[in-house]
């Protein structure tokens, strides 16, 4: 990550692990002055916040852990209030909090409780966080920095919501997750159209399968052979191995690769990008659909 001297302050949800944690670390390295590490797992958020201090490049850097349930409006407001108490403003909001489902019910057998659970976190949570941080951003001053061609207006704030390749696709046996991730991009596009008038940008990031902490702890994916070996050894769904073969880059994404894309969208090089979905998929979505694993209704579980 080559971005430096970002300045400003961030809230990152889902910051205890995975994409959220890596994004918070990347922002710390990029020079933000403070980050709220928000997660349902307060212990994990506290550990992540403390460890980020060794990566941070701003001398004023603060890392504040916060327990957050994104599906609860009071909890979301508490996160925002904490950011205002410590920082006075919110320049970057990254909503990475999420859950998935191992259920693969066909449409006639849809588990509506599972549907409600996923939508509460992925769709409602995205809407609540976007609503709360936008209220703050609308009322704060624009940031202007020195840039290569003179002063550059960064606007009043940036919101990046973590969506999915499934925000752009369909799939078998995945209705709750797919519909919730489509909703995330709907929230991105609707809010971006409205908030552009306030010089606030809103974008979505759409990764395919990203290596989980469990898998990363076992090996580093330097090649497709590594991935296939570990996928089989850990009894990960066999469709993941097929998906790796179908991906032009022959491997899943690393968390740092998704995080770096998010930091780009937050940064001064992306001031004319809003309402977009940035696809981070190793080329999977433009690969021939015939090469995708489709023998089992669970085959899209990886995305």
pLDDT tens-digit readout, 92-130? 999 999 988 778 889 999 999 999 999 999 999 999 999
As annotated, the active-site residues are 177, 181
C-alpha angle 117-23-303 in degrees, rounded to nearest 5: 50
155 phi/psi in degrees, rounded to 5 = 85, -170
For the segment 280-303, the average pLDDT, to the nearest whole number, is 59
CB atoms within 10 A of CB 77: 14
- Each residue of 188-237: pLDDT tens digit? 999 999 999 999 999 999 998 887 553 344 334 444 445 455 445 444 45
Confidence at residue 245, expressed as pLDDT on a 0 to 100 scale: 72
Among all chains, which residue has been given the structure tokens 């550990």? 47
- Per-residue pLDDT of 64-82, as tens digits, reads 999 999 999 999 999 999 9
pLDDT the model gives residue 171: 84
- Amino acid 157: pLDDT: 99
Q: Which residue did the predictor score with more confidence, 29 or 232?
A: 29
187-219 as b/e: b if 16+ CB within 10 A = bbbebbeebeebbbbbbbbbbbbbbeeebeeee
**Rounded to an integer, what distance in angstroms lies between the CA atom of residue 238 and that of residue 216?**
17
Residue 46 pLDDT: 99
- Angle 300-112-126 (CA atoms, 0-180°, nearest 5)? 70
β-bridge mates for residue 162, sequence order: 205
Q: Is the Cβ–Cβ distance between 116 and 56 less than 8 Å?
A: no
Global confidence as pTM: 0.88
Domains belonging to the chain, first-starting first, are: 9-210+253-284 (3.40.50.720)
C-beta of residue 43 within 8 angstroms of C-beta of residue 69: no
Instruction: State the average pLDDT over residues 180-187.
Output: 98
**What is the spatial distance between Cα 45 and Cα 96, in angstroms, rounded to a whole number?**
13
Tokens of 76: 């979301």
Mean per-residue pLDDT of the chain: 87
Other C-beta atoms closer than 10 Å to the C-beta of 222 total 9
């Amino acid at each position: 990550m080559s971005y430096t001297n970002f300045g400003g302050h961030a809230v990152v949800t889902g910051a205890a692990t995975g994409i959220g944690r890596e994004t918070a670390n990347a922002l710390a390295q990029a020079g933000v002055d403070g980050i709220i590490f928000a997660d349902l797992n307060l212990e994990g958020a506290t550990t992540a916040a403390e460890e980020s201090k060794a990566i941070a490049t701003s001398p004023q850097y603060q890392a504040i852990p916060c327990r957050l349930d994104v599906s609860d409006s009071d909890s979301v407001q508490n996160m925002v209030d904490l950011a205002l108490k410590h920082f006075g403003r919110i320049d970057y909001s990254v909503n990475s909090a999420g859950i998935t489902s191992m259920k693969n019910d066909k449409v006639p057998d849809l588990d509506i409780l599972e549907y409600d659970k996923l939508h509460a976190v992925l769709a409602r949570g995205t809407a609540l966080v976007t609503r709360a941080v936008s209220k703050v951003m609308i009322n704060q001053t624009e940031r202007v920095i020195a840039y290569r061609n003179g002063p550059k207006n960064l606007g009043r704030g940036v919101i990046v919501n973590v969506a999915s390749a499934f925000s752009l696709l369909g799939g078998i046996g995945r209705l709750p997750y797919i519909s919730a991730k489509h909703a995330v991009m709907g929230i991105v596009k609707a809010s971006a159209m409205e908030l552009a008038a306030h010089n606030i940008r809103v974008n979505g990031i759409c990764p395919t399968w990203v290596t989980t902490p469990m898998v990363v702890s076992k090996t580093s994916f330097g090649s497709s052979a590594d991935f296939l070996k570990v996928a089989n050894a850990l009894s990960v769904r066999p469709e993941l191995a097929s998906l790796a073969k179908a991906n032009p880059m022959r491997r899943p994404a690393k968390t740092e690769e998704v995080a770096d894309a998010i930091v780009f969208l937050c940064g001064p090089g992306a001031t004319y990008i809003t309402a977009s979905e940035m696809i981070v998929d190793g080329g999977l979505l433009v690969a021939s659909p015939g090469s995708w694993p489709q023998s089992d209704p669970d085959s899209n579980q990886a995305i």
